[in-house]
A and B are shown apart, each in its own frame.
Chain A
Amino acid sequence: MSVILRPSVELTDDDDLVIHMGAGARREVVRAAIRNYHAYEGIHGRAGAFTVSVFAAIAGVSEAEIVAALPQRQYGVGRYGDLRDRFSVWPTTITGTAIPERIMAVHFDVVLPAVGFELAPGSTVEDLDDPALAALDGLLGPSVEELLPLFLPRKAK
């Protein structure tokens, strides 16, 4: 699996973004962001990035199609215009997944700020011990808590 940056953000303020999130979303979103960190190595010259996946209902792809393409049972919908001033949004394609190409073409990553985060040379996030992972959770958590309410109410599939 790798992540490719598409050339431009094809979104307008009124575009709907679909996020998949369950009842324990804050914790799980942070866990996923940490897990995927190294997949973003090289994007915008970074060593990695902490991100949250969203899918835009644009280019003829509907909310229903996006929801059907993924196994999560719950999701939320937010407007791009409500989050673009607070978060960077990257147009990204994840390769090597079972997600249909047409849906992956509207995948975006919301980038979580991680000011002060630094890995020791040669180490990976997978090597962090529990206290270090807890500290990272504390660093990313507030941004996730700011992001998720933009996608409420949570909807059942």
Chain B
Amino acid sequence: MREVFVDYNHIGHACRFRTRLFRSEREGLEVGEVVMVVGDAVEPRQARVLELSDDGREAELEFVAFSEL
């Protein structure tokens, strides 16, 4: 599964958030895809891509609830 790194200092406990994407994170990424969100000192969690910017450099993600897995 594709990994997307986030800085939790800029997100906090949000379930839905926007983040910038680096090359390896964004190439071929599509809305609806589930990615693994990784960050320092936090368990990796799955999130769904809700929206991508036109240039693909930014995405809106939402953590997937266990009930949806």
Contact = CB atoms under 8 A, between A and B. Distances in A.
B41 A96 contact: no
6 contacts: A53-B10, A70-B9, A72-B39, A97-B14, A99-B11, A126-B26
B29 to A, nearest CB: 13
A36 B57 contact: no
Interface in B1-19: 5-15, 17-19
A71 B5 contact: no
Interface residues of B toward A: which range?
20 to 34
A85 interface: no
Interface stretch (A9-17, A20-28, A57-65, A111-119): A20-28
A129 B41 contact: no
B37 to A, nearest CB: 11
A53 B9 contact: yes
Contact of B41 (A22, A39, A97): A22
A32 B40 contact: yes
Contact of B12 (A74, A97, A127): A97
Given A1-B18, A98-B12, A126 B57 contact: yes
A12 B64 CA distance: 42
B18 A28 contact: no
Contact of B5 (A35, A98, A99): A35
A107 B23 CA distance: 29
B7 A36 contact: yes
B41 A74 contact: yes
